[in-house]
Amino acid sequence: MRDVLVLGAGLHRYGIFPETSFVSMGVEACQRALEDAEVQWQDIEVGYCGSLNLPPMSGHAIGLCLGTYGTTMTNVENASASGSSAFREAYLAIASGMHDVAIAMGVDKLKKYRRPSPRKNQHGKTETVKAPSNTGAMQSFALLAREHMARYGTTIDQLAMVSVKSHHNATCNQYAHFQKPVTLDEVHRARMVADPLTVLHCCPWDEGAAAVVLCAVDIAARFSRKPCPRVLASVCTGSTGGDPLVDLTEVTAYKAYDMASCGPEGLDLVEVHDAVTIEEIIYYESLGLCPTGEGGRLIQSGETEIGGRIPVNTSGGLISMGHPIGPTGLGQIAEILWQMRGQAGSRQVPDNPRRGLAHMVGAGGVCFIHLLGL
């Protein structure tokens, strides 16, 4: 297997864009990724497009708008892990020796829009928000939160601290859906979704696009002289028969650590699938960032904040950056890339991290872990 580098990344902001087509968003993200990677579209040999809500051949439609140079496009769907799946396929295409340069893109649109209570954004304009409701999935997350609180003494304040941290980080991210900070009190007083989780404990339903360019390490110098992290591990695990979140993440993480010859203590930055606040806390534990049952105390310690021992979700995470599905896993890769290059602006982790982990799970029982390192 050949070594593979991440050359560049580009995003279209996450949010609600009823008047913007998925093709327009996808093209914008790809063009930014190509510029960041210092490559031309005609240099791309193969591409993979992750999405959940789009019609067939969506990646082809985006590719045709970028130009017809023989690039092979494959569309990928894997629930919340669709973008992570696209990244893994692009990585394998190069690592196998079949291709030298590849692009992984993700894009999604909402199937329909709800306009329950239009609210003003930070620019004073009314925006449509698709907010979580009391579905079976949210009831399952609420049960998980109650069980963790009862078993380990995790508090509702500790859960809410995840949201406060997430929103704070997103205020520094131009691509984030929500760019306004929240307080603990605001998290507690927000609309209840499924007890004890209010809407500010949950990620939104939204739209957006992301793209990442990958390249074989031996030819990368033809394109860019920027620092380019190597893909140290790319691991996907299906349902293990145990807990679909905790056990699945733990099994996948330790496969990735073995592949990368790196343990959790060697990580400088982590992006996790935080569809709700309790997920971030349990993934602290599953990834080995702290002992089982200590996730609540880890968030309270401040160690997962920017500048802490192990910053988590510096992008704002799914809760605040957003969760458009198709782009989500690729947005995590972009965040790690830019942090490693020192290009994250006011959310920059000190001393430019050298190892980062991206984690996504998908409904149906699948988990992806990607480890990048300079």
pLDDT given at position 116: 47
Question: What mean pLDDT comes out for the span 34-49?
Answer: 97
pLDDT given at position 137: 86
Instruction: Count Cα neighbours of 134 within 13 Å in the Cβ-side half-sphere.
Output: 9
Question: What mean pLDDT comes out for the span 239-253?
Answer: 88
Q: Are 214 and 224 in contact (CB under 8 A)?
A: no
More confident residue, 1 or 34: 34
Nearest to 106 by CA among 44, 163, 52, 43: 52
On the question of pLDDT at 6 being above 50, the answer is: yes
pLDDT given at position 128: 45
pLDDT given at position 121: 46
Beta strands in the chain (DSSP E): 4-15, 46-50, 72-76, 101-108, 119-120, 126-127, 192-194, 197-198, 207-216, 230-238, 269-271, 355-362, 366-373
10 Å CB burial of residue 181 (0-12, 13-18, 19+) is: middle
Architecture of the domain delimited by 4-111+206-222: 3-Layer(aba) Sandwich (3.40)
Instruction: Please report which residue ranges of 114-155 form alpha helices under DSSP H.
Output: 136-152
Spatial distance between the Cα atoms of 102 and 73, rounded to a whole number of angstroms: 10
Residue type, 110: L
- Per-residue pLDDT of 323-348, as tens digits, reads 999 999 999 999 999 999 999 999 99
> pLDDT band for position 64 (50/70/90)?
very high
On the question of pLDDT at 221 being above 90, the answer is: yes
Least confident of 240-254, 271-285, 292-306: 240-254
Q: Are 200 and 187 in contact (CB under 8 A)?
A: yes
Mean pLDDT, all residues of the chain: 93
Nearest to 267 by CA among 360, 356, 368: 356
What pTM was estimated for this model as a whole? 0.94
pLDDT given at position 238: 93
More confident residue, 232 or 127: 232
- Per-residue pLDDT of 291-306, as tens digits, reads 999 999 999 999 999 9
| Percent of the residues in the chain that have a pLDDT greater than 90, as a whole number | 87
pLDDT given at position 223: 95
> pLDDT band for position 216 (50/70/90)?
very high
More confident residue, 114 or 373: 373
- Per-residue pLDDT of 95-154, as tens digits, reads 999 999 999 999 999 987 655 444 544 445 544 454 677 777 899 999 999 999 999 999
Question: What mean pLDDT comes out for the span 251-276?
Answer: 97
Question: What mean pLDDT comes out for the span 6-18?
Answer: 97
